[in-house]
Each structure stands twice: as structure tokens, then as C-alpha cells.
Structure 1
Amino acid sequence: MDSSAVALSVARPPPAVARRRFGVLAGLFDTWPNAAVTLLLVWLLVRIGIAMWDWAFARGVWQAETAEQCARTGGLCWAFLADRWRLILFGPYPYAQQWRPALAMVLFALLLGASLAPAMWAARRTRLLLALAWPCVILTIAALLWGGLLGLVPVPSRLWGGLPLTMILASVGVSGAFVLAILLALGRRSDMPVLRAVCTAFIEFFRGVPLVALLFLASVLFPYFVPPDWTMDVLLRAQIAFALFFAAYMAEAIRGGLQAIPNGQYAACESLGLSYWQAQRRIILPQALRIVIPSLVNIFIAAFKDTSLVVVISMMDLLGAANASTAEAKWWGLYIEPYLFVALIYLAICAVISTYSRGLERRLGVSER
């Protein structure tokens, strides 16, 4: 071996990485173009912030009896929100009983937060506790909303509205759609031609029909296809329409994740002697669902916002309640306040969903494939 080969075989130190100036501000002021864009955006944000502060607080009206009194300053009418916020949040639910949907939402939020915490899934005992808590909480929420038990005044579902109705339609619809979507995705990839054709036809039909049309069919035309003495609550019909519609979209997202799994994974399952369902439950589906987390989150958020379409079947969700809040004569002409209030609620909930999904992606290592 000559000296040049020996010199090449000697370990060399790694190349020095150039350290960017400004530390955490790198990319903001390290070059003249970056600094100019940064300063321009900061100036715009400051101007917008000052204008919003002036409109919402400096010229805001905190006490007023009519929309005309609020219009004198041209600011945000806080008096309207103080007078109508309960109608926006709870819709036509009886005023004296609105503590019941409020308590139901608190119970649901607490249990959902506990269920999404990774620590709750670490031990078998906590998992069993969650499995027992969900049926109990669901029955409690149903009893609170419907009433008729323990001295609670009965409230029919046609009087439900506002944020509780939106949360029920979104959460129950998405949960049912997710389970159905997994079965549809597996069925569309099945080797059985009849099953594959049925699942494909289901997906293509519900993806090709607008959700408004499905809600209309479920509400108006459904009674014509069943016996006269057989009835179904309109909320349940809307819930089924939601679940079927979004199951078709989720199924295609999950099918994409299944197709992304290398064939070697299937061969490994066969070599281990795993049955079809064992392979799907333990090996294939966990990987496929991890891949499609961003797509599923997009569908979850779309489903949450599309609950506003139930207005076509005379159900008053959060957005419908905001529309109804201006129906009183003294508040005619006020539209910015209720829509801004509702937009902030939608934004906050969607931001929480997005933040959790990003954390879930980091924990599961989606970006490390």
C-alpha cells in the first residue's frame, strides 16, 4: 500500500458547518432582502393590530339597547354579544335548561382530552378505565340533553342547537365514519370481486353526491321509503348521512396508506403465519394509518365545518344559531359580531385539532420514514 492510499484511509474530521448569525432570528435579518420582508410584515401586522384594537375596544360599544346605538361609533357592538351569546352557543335549547348542554360539553371535552393524552394509553389499567368511562359519559350526555330522567325536563332533539349540536354531529359522525372507512378501504383492496365492486360503488356514490343532497334525502325523502308507523329522529338521520359521506372520503385516504405499505410487509406477515385480520390489526393498519394522519385530519376539520349544512333540514347548528341571533328587530343589521364570534370558535377548535395532529405525527415519527 503506497503512502497516498494510507493518507486517504486516515479518518478525517467532519466538515465545519457554517453557523448562521442572529441565532433564533436567522432567516429574518441575516440578508437585506430577508430584513426588508421582515420589517414590511411587522409593519403590516402592527397597523392591522392597531386598527383592530381601535375598532374592537377604543370604539367598541359595551352598553346599548339597539343596533342604531352601536352604529354611532362604528365599533364592535359588545352589547349585542352580551345579549345574544347564549342563543349563539346553545340555539333554541330552553333558556333555563342551558346548563345541561354546557355540562355535557364540559364532560365530553374532559374525557376527550384524557383519551388523547399519551400517558393514558401507557398502562393497561388506564386503557380499561377509558373503555369504561366512554359509555358512561355518553349515556350521561344523552340523559342531560334529552332529559326525562331524575327530574330533568324532556327536551326533544329538534330544540338542540348551537355548539353542542355541532360537536355531536362532528364527533359522532367522524367516529362512525372512521370505522366504516377502514372496512371500505380493506374491501376495495379485497381479492373478492363482488366485495370489491360493492365497496367501490359505495365510495364513488357518496363521493359524487353533495352532502346537502344527502341531508335533504335523509330528512325529506327517507319517510317515503319506510312504513308509515316506522319513524327515525331527524338528528339520527342527519348523523347517518354525515357518517356515510365522510366515510367515503376517509376510505380513499386510508386506501392510499395501505397501498404505500411495501409488499415485503405482507410477505413477512404470511411467513409469520398471521391470519388476514391479525396482519391488518398488528402490522399493516398501524403503519397505513400513521402515514395518512395529515389527510385524515383534513377530513376531520372539513367534517367539523360542514356541520353548518344541516341548516337545510331546519337544524340550528353553531352557524345557524349565529344567523338567528340577529332576527330580533332591535339587532337588525348586525352581522360582523355574530360571524366573528363563531369564526373564532371554529378557528380555536380547528387549531387545537391541528396542533394535536402535529404532535401525534412527531411522536409516531411520520417524517422519519
Structure 2
Amino acid sequence: MSDIHANSVAFVRKTEIPPAPPPYAATGPVKWLRENLFATPANSLLTIAALYVIWLILSGALPWIANGIWTTSSLTECRQALDGVAGACFSVLTERWNQLLFGFQYPSEFYWRPTLALVLLFVAAAPVLFFDLPRKLLVFTAVYPFIAFWLIWGGTILTPILALAGVIAGALVYQRLVTGSFAYGFFGGIIAAFIVWTVGGWIIPAGASDSAMLTAVPSRDLGGFMLNMMLGVTCVTLSVPIGIALALGRQSSMPLIKMICVVFIEFIRGVPLITLLFVASVMLAYFFPPESTLDLFLRVVIMITMFSSAYIAEVIRGGLAALPKGQYEAADSLGLDYPQAMRLIILPQALKISIPGIVNIAVGLFKDTTLVSVIGMFDIVGMIRGPILASTEWNGVYWELLGFASVLFFIVCYGISQYSQWLERRLATDHR
């Protein structure tokens, strides 16, 4: 009887049954395809059409790339080696890579100098781009422009040292007399650097020690992708602080300052960059003393910086306008003066809002550096259009050269875009 009673008691599970895996169609690659590519009949048709276009492009491009020739010394030899087969003539890249990267006049024995300057650029930019790094590294960031100048242009090391001394001296004076902030004083000291640098050119002894000398390379010998990088980095670096000053000046309560900033911004934004480059090439020298010989590279930097700073000023002005009025009132309630309020409260928030616009202008500016080829500067596009295609060995090669230039520009611009997206995610404190 007890056995019958024991068998009639219901079984009670003490643990839960493990959940069954989801259906295969609701997870993994199949789920992603259904949600992103074949969610609706219209999306399915667009996906099929896009895949067909991609197949058409790759079916023609991949064999052309795979059959490419890398070892010939001229276009004629390349076509003979292909023997009627469709293929790229990549030999022009192996033959003229140095001209594409460094120009055709920069001495080949000094290629290590701009290469080292490029490597040091990443070291100098790291503490600015990634603010988790030790702040002590900013010392090298401040010194880097003078090191890069000495490496690329050469000459006596006393010239960049004297310019650095002028910046430090001007920053200290500006800090003590005007702002009380060394960061603002550093930008103010740049003006003093040009004055001290110019005077220093008269007092630097002609017979400087050979150990402190690098063979001087004039600016007219700069070229290739190196020239695009130098113009892009220099102009973007200078245009951001100038754009901030213009944006603040346009919102100033002083009528004269506001009028000057408004006229400058609207005039520069209303003139094409190509026109400003022609002005830099032909007319800008007339604004300086007759005995002065202002370098063409410096004139181009001035014009491109003016152009980009006007656009960056409008982007930052939009970021300032997007801030609620309470932020300004909060700064006033804390007893902060105007420089302190801008530096500690207003500008950090406005610049965070302006990141996409600033990056868009930086990418566009870097690509627009190819316009200098129309005023006789042999950047990478100028090298392709000029010395390389003008030579009898490679006259007729277009896709390989322009494709190589496109890859270089894509790598730089894509890197800038990815960093900006990372920075936006890192600074998205209001969404956490």
C-alpha cells in the first residue's frame, strides 16, 4: 500500500529546464541578413541590384589588378609583357614612388628627414588626440613644429631654437600682462616668434657649427604627397584657434571687433579657394616690403588657413548658439570672468557640439590641398599631371597613378573620420 502511495505522488522539479536555443533563422548571419538586407520586398530588390553592380565592378577590376605588371621600366614594355591581356601597369608606382611621395627635386639622400618628421607627428599628436595620456607629453607636442621645420627644411638648428625662444618669451609676457593663462599666452606668443625669428636671421652667425647643420632644402623642392600632408596638417592646426577667435569676435559686444570678424568671414566664404591661391601666388607678395621675399609655401599656408578658419568660425558659432542661455548664466553666477567662462564652461561644450563640422572641414581642406598644383606647386596631383605623364616612358598611364593617390587620401581621411566618431562617443556624457 505504501508503494502505491509513493508512486502516486506528483514529481516536483527542483531546477528550471535550460532554455532552448533560438531558431536558426532568428540569430546569427541569417538574422542579420533578414533584418538589414531582405527586410521588405523593396529592400530585397535594392540588395539584389546593388550586388549585381558590385559584381560588374569587381568582375572587371579584379582581373585588371591581378594581371598587373610591377617590373617593367616603361609603358611600352608593360604592354608587351601583358601581350593583349587586360592588366594594370603598376610598374609606374615602383619606378616613380619617390616622386609621388617626395617630389622630383627633394634630394633622395634626405628622404629620411620628412619620414622621421611624419613618425614624430604621430608622437606629438597623441597627447592631444588621446587625452588619457600623461600631460607631460604635451611638452614634446609644443616643441614638435620647430623640430619638423628643421628636419624638412634643414639649415642651422639655431633658427628653430630662436623661434621657440620667441614663442616662450611672448607667451610669458602675454600671460603676465593680458590673460594670466599660459595656454592663451602660448598662442599670443606665436606673434612674438615671427618677430624674434626675423631678427634672429640677421644675428645668426654664417659660420655655424657643422654639427648643428642640416643641408638646407628650399621650399620649391618640396613636392609629392609630403607637400599635401604638410599643407593639411599646418593649415588645420592653425585654422582651429583662429576660427575660435573669429567665432568669439563675431559674437562680441564691441561693434568694431564684431564688424571686422563679420566682414572677414563673409568675404572669405564668398571667394573660391582657387582664387585665393592665385592671390597667394601673384598678389600677396605686394603686401610685404619690397626687399622681403616671402616664400610661396608660406603664402599658400596663409591663404588656406584664412579660408578654412572662416568656415571653422561659422561651425563653432553654431556650437555656441546651440548652448542654452543657462550655461552663460551659470558661469556668471560662479563669478567667472569672460576668459575663464569661455575656457572652462562654454568652449568645451561648444567644441564638442562642433566636432562633426570641424572634421568635415578638415577632411575637405586636406583634399583641397591638391588645388595648389594649378599655381605651379608639385603636390601628388601636380607630379602626376606634370613630370610623370610628361615623360615618354609613362605617357598614357592614368588609372594606376590616380588610384594610388586616391588610396593615400582615403587612408588619411578615413582615419580622421574614424577618430572623430571615437571622440564623439567618448565625449557623449549627456547620453550616459
Give the TM-score normalised by the residue count of structure 2: 0.75
- What are the Cα deviations for residues 23-49 of structure 1, in whole angstroms up to 9, with x where unaligned? 433222344443443344334324422
The whole-number CA distance in structure 1 between the counterparts of 2:345 and 2:251 is: 16
Are 1:60 and 2:68 counterparts? yes
**Superposed counterparts of 1:248-267, under 5 Å:** 248-267=310-329
**Alignment check: 8 A CA contact 2:127 2:135 kept:** no
Equivalent position of 2:128 in the other structure: 115
The whole-number CA distance in structure 1 between the counterparts of 2:287 and 2:44 is: 66
Equivalent position SS for 1:331: coil
Which residue, 206, 214, 220 being the options, matches 1:158? 220
Equivalent position of 2:232 in the other structure: 170
What letter corresponds to residue 89 of structure 1 in structure 2? Answer: L
**Superposed counterparts of 1:36-185, under 5 Å:** 36-57=45-66, 59-71=67-79, 72-91=84-103, 92-113=105-126, 115-120=128-133, 126-129=134-137, 131-149=138-156, 150=211, 152-185=214-247
- CA drift of 1:185 comes to 0.6
Question: Which sections of structure 1, spanning at least 5 residues, go unmatched?
Answer: 1-18, 121-125
The whole-number CA distance in structure 1 between the counterparts of 2:274 and 2:39 is: 51
- CA drift of 1:177 comes to 0.8
Equivalent position of 1:334 in the other structure: 397
Aligned-residue sequence identity (percent) comes to: 42
| C-alpha RMSD of the superposition | 2.1
Equivalent position of 2:36 in the other structure: 27
**Alignment check: 8 A CA contact 1:361 1:367 kept:** no
Equivalent position of 2:366 in the other structure: 304
Equivalent position of 2:413 in the other structure: 350
How many residues align? The count is 344
Q: Which moved more, 1:110-119 or 1:163-172?
A: 110-119
Are 1:290 and 2:352 counterparts? yes
Equivalent position SS for 1:334: coil
**Alignment check: 8 A CA contact 2:223 2:380 kept:** yes
- CA drift of 1:366 comes to 7.8
**Alignment check: 8 A CA contact 2:73 2:95 kept:** no
- What are the Cα deviations for residues 302-323 of structure 1, in whole angstroms up to 9, with x where unaligned? 1101111112332111221222
Q: Which moved more, 1:109-118 or 1:271-280?
A: 109-118
Are the structure 2 counterparts of residues 183 and 285 from structure 1 closer, same or farther at C-alpha, using a change threshold of 3 Å?
same
The whole-number CA distance in structure 1 between the counterparts of 2:51 and 2:430 is: 31
The whole-number CA distance in structure 2 between the counterparts of 1:268 and 1:141 is: 42
**Alignment check: 8 A CA contact 1:291 1:366 kept:** no
**Alignment check: 8 A CA contact 2:370 2:380 kept:** yes
**Alignment check: 8 A CA contact 1:146 1:157 kept:** yes
Q: Which moved more, 1:34-43 or 1:168-177?
A: 34-43
Q: Which moved more, 1:45-54 or 1:240-249?
A: 45-54
- CA drift of 1:100 comes to 1.7
Equivalent position SS for 1:316: coil
Equivalent position SS for 2:132: helix
**Alignment check: 8 A CA contact 1:297 1:357 kept:** yes
Which residue, 194, 198, 201 being the options, matches 2:260? 198
Are the structure 2 counterparts of residues 366 and 48 from structure 1 closer, same or farther at C-alpha, using a change threshold of 3 Å?
farther
- CA drift of 1:258 comes to 0.7
What letter corresponds to residue 108 of structure 1 in structure 2? Answer: L
**Alignment check: 8 A CA contact 1:60 1:73 kept:** no
Give the TM-score normalised by the residue count of structure 1: 0.87
The whole-number CA distance in structure 2 between the counterparts of 1:225 and 1:296 is: 30
Equivalent position of 2:20 in the other structure: none
The whole-number CA distance in structure 1 between the counterparts of 2:349 and 2:305 is: 24
The whole-number CA distance in structure 2 between the counterparts of 1:268 and 1:110 is: 38
Using CA pairs below 8 Å that are at least 6 residues apart, which structure has the higher relative contact order?
A: 1
What letter corresponds to residue 27 of structure 1 in structure 2? Answer: N
- CA drift of 1:191 comes to 1.3
What letter corresponds to residue 53 of structure 1 in structure 2? Answer: L
Equivalent position of 2:334 in the other structure: 272
- What are the Cα deviations for residues 142-167 of structure 1, in whole angstroms up to 9, with x where unaligned? 12111234453221111011122111
Are the structure 2 counterparts of residues 160 and 202 from structure 1 closer, same or farther at C-alpha, using a change threshold of 3 Å?
same
